[in-house]
């Protein structure tokens, strides 16, 4: 006997679902929004419930009616012989959807439908079945569209996306049937059949991995489901159903015993990884699906065996999980770099609710599918990693002058000094792979500027001229600097930023210089750092602290690191990349903490173990409960911030500050205390109480050795 059926699904999956149902024996499939109508025998309905990886529900219509209002809805349901559907000793629930001009509330529509069914039983057999909202024996689905209503038995008895293996999920979990659709669109079955592997760099609760494994092992997605809606239906053929289930169990057993593809997942959050492992154990696929705790920055393609082909697939955050959109751009860029570097020759797929973030990977997508994650419009972007390249994230270079422009005598002299310094530092820059460094620091007093190189760009800061210097002469010399630098540096004029420190009143000297919001990426050792060469007097990277940050990175493995007055958190990034167990970065500025968030994302580092704290470091230390193995203390020389009750002066207040910081340092730990205050003297009390070693000379690279007073630094430990 043939039946009419309807399979509901998330929007965007209709074509895939129709194809899947056809393979399961469905006939006359017809797609509609969020579902597919089809015909088939009872066995087809059973197989759809057990085997559909994409459907939400499988419905068997009982009747279609024209209704105008609540009374005609009541009469329509009263016309059905409910005694042939279920017994009055069974519990039931009504799922009502839709509305029209008279029935405007789904709760009211559901109540009127329940009344009709209960009243039918009371009249026909003298018994009233009980209504039970949670886990009823049978569900009746009523869908209203304008004047048409369809009444159906919910064969699935609840959404089929619940496979039974998920014990819990992280934030914004991906539904299982949507995960299956993503895998099908990414052509995972074909890749798996060719011996390809699957890697998810941000696996969350492992939904994509488990759906992939179930496909490869030929495991029916609903095989572990405890109950179906048709079991309380009077027309249920238990013998036929048991045969279908038995066949599926045999296929699953043989599938588990077969050689299955390599399926691995990684996530930076250890709590989420444990949850994923629980889900994997629940379904018994521990030998197939392996997950481990690893941030994106540390991920490499497994090397225990050749993996020439495969699929790297993930659903990165696109909401609040790792921060605002601007931070996530750098995470997506890191993902794009990782995919191309580690998985060249593979296929790539990124599922995201923000297509602009997907484009931020820098990769060229050859296919984009529009899908829905619940009500959120989303996109699946597919990448051929064998024939792809990263779009340049940095500003394009323009042509530099050809050297024919005639310079004034002063400009030529300045240009010669720049070239001389470049030559002097060239071997060191090349040997140490230095990308950002100070090239010139008022070497000639009349040209009082600092010239810093940042990759392919440059930053020039003019020092405040003494009162006895003629302002017109200072302006002329600054003009000579501007004229000389492009040719001397070999940098296009538009890639050089100038900060001119002129006489200003009050707090205006600390205000933003510009509002471009343009961040460029530069390298320092293993870290990628975002700097802003235009908007502030400082760029986000204090170049003189480079050796100290690299030292912290080398010493941070398996340690808890505390970064006080963290600024943009570059030291925290180095500690994290060096293998720190945790990092904690404290600062009063939302701007700097947001900048740190971007730096973390840019290096593929999550925030689960790398904490940002907005607080006054002095008061925070007084209340701190945790202790640390490694601390960086780099306070300002002076502060009268509105967030502080009193002013702070490093010379006056450093004894109490150092003691407070040392109170949270573990007995075998080390603290690095640094200050840029000229003429600073460490109080002898601290040298008596602690072991204080002056390492200032060791923390200056060749680009700052000419100005050895740029900072003072001590390594302080408990005696």
Find the radius of gyration of the CA atoms of the chain: 33
Q: Classify residue 58 as exposed, middle or buried by CB count within 10 Å of its CB (0-12, 13-18, 19+).
A: buried
- Top pLDDT among 644 and 382 is at 382
Predicted confidence (pLDDT) at residue 505 exceeds the cutoff of 60:
no
Of 521, 475, 525, 532, whose CA–CA distance to 500 is shortest?
A: 475
Gap between the Cα atoms of 61 and 63, Å rounded: 6
- Top pLDDT among 400 and 555 is at 555
Are 181 and 315 spatial neighbours (Cβ–Cβ below 8 Å)?
no
With residue 422 as reference, give the H or E element that holds it.
Answer: helix 409-431
pTM over 0.85: no
Of 519, 538, 456, 520, whose CA–CA distance to 493 is shortest?
A: 456
Residues 6+ apart with CB under 8 A from 460: 449, 450, 451, 452, 481, 485, 496, 497, 498, 499
Residues 117-172: tens digit of each pLDDT: 999 999 999 999 999 988 999 999 999 988 899 999 999 999 999 998 987 544 55
Residues 6+ apart with CB under 8 A from 154: 57, 58, 59, 95, 138, 139, 140, 141, 229
pLDDT at 124: 95
Classify the C-alpha dihedral 548-552-555-561 as positive or negative. positive
Overall domain count for the chain: 4
Same domain, yes or no: 491 and 583? no
Instruction: Flag whether 485 is in a domain.
Output: yes
Gap between the Cα atoms of 69 and 104, Å rounded: 10
Region class of 504: left (phi > 0), else alpha (psi between -120 and 50), else beta: beta
Output b/e per residue, 120-159; b: 16+ Cβ within 10 A: bbeeeeeeebebeeeebbbbbbbbbeeeebbbbbbbbbbe
Q: Pull the structure tokens for residue 112.
A: 């009127």
Q: 104, 121, 154: which is the final residue of a domain?
A: 154
Strand partners, 441: 450
Instruction: Flag whether 124 is in a domain.
Output: yes
Same domain, yes or no: 150 and 180? no
Are 42 and 237 spatial neighbours (Cβ–Cβ below 8 Å)?
yes
Q: For the packed helices 207-216 and 270-283, what is the interaxial angle rounded to 10 degrees?
A: 30
pLDDT at 407: 87
Q: Cβ atoms within 10 A of the Cβ of 400, count?
A: 14
Whose tokens are 């001009």? That residue is: 101
Instruction: Flag whether 240 is in a domain.
Output: no
Distance of CA 317 to the CA centre of its chain: 4
- 490-493 long-range contacts, CB within 8 A, separation 24+: 490/400, 491/400, 491/456, 491/457, 491/458, 492/397, 492/398, 492/399, 492/400, 493/398
Average pLDDT, the chain: 91
Instruction: Flag whether 142 is in a domain.
Output: yes
Q: How much of the chain is helix, strand and coil, in % rounded to 5?
A: 35, 25, 40
Lowest mean pLDDT among 417-426, 513-522, 661-670, 691-700: 513-522
What residues make up the domain containing 58? Answer: 2-154
Q: 317, 351, 384: which is the final residue of a domain?
A: 384
Q: Pull the structure tokens for residue 60.
A: 């068997």
pLDDT at 402: 42
Of 689, 679, 699, whose CA–CA distance to 658 is shortest?
A: 689
pLDDT at 19: 97
Same domain, yes or no: 316 and 441? no
Residues 281-330: tens digit of each pLDDT: 999 999 999 999 999 988 999 988 899 999 999 999 876 444 467 788 89
| 155 three-class SS | coil
Whose tokens are 């669109």? That residue is: 185
Count CA atoms closer than 13 A to 507's CA, side-chain side. 6
The percentage of residues in the chain with a pLDDT greater than 70, rounded to a whole number, is 94
DSSP state of 131: B
Strand partners, 660: none
Same domain, yes or no: 73 and 200? no
Gap between the Cα atoms of 196 and 356, Å rounded: 29
Q: How many residues does the chain have?
A: 719
- Label the pairing between strands 376-384 and 347-352: antiparallel
SS (HEC) of 629-687: EEEEECCCCEECCCCCCCCEEHHHHHHHHHHHHHCCEEEEEEEEEEECCCCCCCCHHHH
Residues 245-265: tens digit of each pLDDT: 999 999 999 999 999 999 999
> What number is the average pLDDT over the span 19-37?
96
Classify the C-alpha dihedral 180-182-183-185 as positive or negative. positive
pLDDT at 382: 98
Residues 6+ apart with CB under 8 A from 461: 449, 450, 452, 499, 501, 537
- For residue 96, the domain's CATH number is 3.30.2130.30
Instruction: Flag whether 423 is in a domain.
Output: yes
> What number is the average pLDDT over the span 188-206?
96
Instruction: Flag whether 424 is in a domain.
Output: yes
Are 279 and 267 spatial neighbours (Cβ–Cβ below 8 Å)?
no
- For residue 569, the domain's CATH number is 3.40.50.150
Gap between the Cα atoms of 42 and 38, Å rounded: 12
Residues 516-544: tens digit of each pLDDT: 778 999 999 999 999 999 988 899 999 99
Same domain, yes or no: 492 and 619? no
Instruction: Flag whether 134 is in a domain.
Output: yes
Q: 384, 399, 418: which is the final residue of a domain?
A: 384
Residues 340-382: tens digit of each pLDDT: 999 999 999 999 999 999 999 999 999 999 999 988 999 999 9
CA distances, 501 to each of 411, 442, 453, 458, 462 (Å)? 20, 14, 19, 17, 6
pLDDT at 506: 37
Same domain, yes or no: 137 and 183? no
Residues 616-625: tens digit of each pLDDT: 999 999 999 9
Same domain, yes or no: 210 and 326? yes
DSSP state of 493: G
Distance of CA 499 to the CA centre of its chain: 35
DSSP state of 471: H
Same domain, yes or no: 414 and 312? no
Q: Pull the structure tokens for residue 459.
A: 């930053």
With residue 192 as reference, give the H or E element that holds it.
Answer: helix 188-193
With residue 579 as reference, give the H or E element that holds it.
Answer: none
Q: Cβ atoms within 10 A of the Cβ of 175, count?
A: 18
With residue 375 as reference, give the H or E element that holds it.
Answer: none
> What number is the average pLDDT over the span 21-30?
97
pLDDT bracket for residue 465 (50, 70, 90): confident
Same domain, yes or no: 577 and 614? yes
pLDDT at 68: 87
Instruction: Flag whether 691 is in a domain.
Output: yes
Residues 681-714: tens digit of each pLDDT: 999 999 999 999 999 999 999 999 888 889 999 9
pLDDT at 279: 94
Residues 441-457: tens digit of each pLDDT: 999 988 999 999 999 99
Phi, psi dihedrals of residue 332, rounded to the nearest 5°:
-65, -35
Predicted confidence (pLDDT) at residue 406 exceeds the cutoff of 80:
no
Q: Pull the structure tokens for residue 692.
A: 């204080």
Q: Pull the structure tokens for residue 55.
A: 């459907």
Gap between the Cα atoms of 716 and 659, Å rounded: 11
DSSP 249-302: HHHHHHHHHS----EEEEES-HHHHHHHHHHHHHHT-TTTEEEEE--GGG----
Distance of CA 197 to the CA centre of its chain: 23
Same domain, yes or no: 319 and 351? yes
pLDDT at 172: 54
């Amino acid at each position: 006997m043939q039946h009419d059926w309807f399979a509901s699904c998330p929007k965007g999956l209709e074509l895939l679902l129709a194809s899947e149902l056809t393979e399961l024996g469905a006939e006359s499939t017809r797609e509609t929004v969020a579902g597919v109508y089809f015909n088939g025998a009872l066995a087809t309905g059973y197989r759809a419930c057990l085997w559909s990886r994409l459907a939400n529900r499988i419905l068997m219509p009982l009747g279609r009616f024209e209704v105008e209002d609540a009374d005609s809805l009541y009469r329509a349901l009263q016309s059905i012989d409910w005694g042939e559907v279920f017994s009055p000793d069974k519990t039931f629930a009504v799922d009502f959807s839709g509305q029209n001009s008279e029935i405007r509330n789904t709760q009211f529509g559901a109540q009127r439908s329940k009344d009709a069914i209960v009243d039918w039983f009371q009249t026909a057999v003298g018994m009233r079945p009980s209504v039970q909202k949670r886990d009823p024996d049978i569900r009746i689905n009523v869908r209203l569209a304008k004047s048409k209503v369809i009444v159906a038995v919910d064969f699935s008895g609840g959404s089929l996306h619940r496979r039974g293996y998920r014990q819990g999920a992280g934030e914004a979990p991906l539904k299982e049937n949507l995960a299956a659709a993503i895998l099908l669109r990414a052509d995972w079955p074909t890749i798996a059949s060719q011996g390809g592997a699957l890697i998810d760099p941000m696996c969350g609760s492992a939904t994509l991995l488990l759906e992939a494994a179930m496909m490869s092992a030929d495991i029916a997605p609903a095989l572990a489901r405890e109950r179906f809606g048709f079991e309380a239906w009077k027309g249920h053929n238990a013998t036929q159903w048991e045969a279908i289930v038995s066949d599926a169990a045999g296929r699953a057993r043989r599938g588990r015993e077969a050689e299955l593809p390599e399926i691995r997942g990684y996530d930076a959050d250890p709590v989420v990884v444990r949850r994923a492992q629980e889900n994997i154990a629940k379904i018994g696929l521990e030998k197939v699906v392996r997950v481990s705790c690893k941030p994106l920055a540390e991920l490499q393609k497994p090397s225990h065996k050749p993996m020439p082909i495969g699929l790297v697939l993930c659903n990165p955050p696109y909401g609040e999980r790792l921060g605002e959109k601007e931070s996530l751009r750098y995470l997506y860029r890191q993902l794009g770099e990782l995919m191309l570097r580690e998985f060249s020759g593979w296929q790539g797929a990124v599922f995201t609710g923000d297509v602009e973030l997907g484009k931020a990977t820098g990769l060229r997508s050859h296919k984009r599918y529009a899908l829905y994650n619940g009500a959120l419009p989303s996109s699946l972007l597919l990448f051929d990693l064998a024939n792809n390249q990263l779009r340049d994230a940095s500003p394009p270079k323009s042509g530099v002058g050809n050297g024919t422009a005639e310079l004034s005598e002063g400009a030529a002299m300045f240009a010669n000094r720049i070239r001389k310094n470049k030559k002097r530092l060239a071997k060191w820059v090349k040997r140490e792979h230095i990308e950002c460094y100070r090239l010139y620091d008022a070497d000639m007093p009349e040209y009082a500027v600092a010239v810093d190189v940042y990759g392919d760009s440059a930053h020039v800061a003019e020092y405040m001229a003494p009162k006895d210097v003629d302002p017109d002469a200072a302006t002329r010399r600054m003009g000579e600097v501007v004229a000389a630098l492009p040719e001397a540096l070999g940098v296009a004029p538009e890639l050089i930023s100038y900060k001119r420190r002129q006489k200003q009143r009050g707090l205006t000297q600390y205000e933003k210089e510009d509002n471009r919001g343009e961040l460029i990426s530069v390298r320092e050792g293993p870290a990628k750092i975002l700097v802003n060469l235009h908007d502030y007097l400082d760029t986000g990277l204090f170049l003189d602290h480079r050796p100290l940050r690299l030292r912290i990175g080398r010493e941070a493995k398996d340690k808890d690191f505390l970064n006080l007055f963290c600024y943009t958190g570059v030291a925290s990034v180095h500690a994290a990349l060096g293998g720190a167990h945790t990092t904690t970065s404290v600062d009063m500025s939302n701007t700097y903490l947001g900048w740190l968030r971007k730096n973390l994302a840019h290096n593929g580092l999550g925030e689960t173990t790398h904490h940002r704290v907005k607080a006054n470091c002095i008061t925070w230390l007084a209340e701190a409960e945790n202790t640390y193995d490694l601390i960086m203390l780099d306070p300002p020389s002076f502060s009268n911030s509105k967030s502080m009750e009193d002013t702070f002066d490093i010379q006056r207040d450093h004894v109490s500050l150092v003691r407070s910081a040392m109170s949270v340092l573990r007995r075998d730990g080390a603290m690095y205390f640094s200050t840029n205050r000229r003429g600073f003297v460490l109080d002898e009390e601290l040298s008596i109480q602690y072991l204080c070693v002056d390492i200032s000379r060791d923390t200056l690279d060749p680009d700052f050795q000419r100005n050895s007073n740029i900072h003072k630094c001590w390594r302080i430990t408990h005696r």
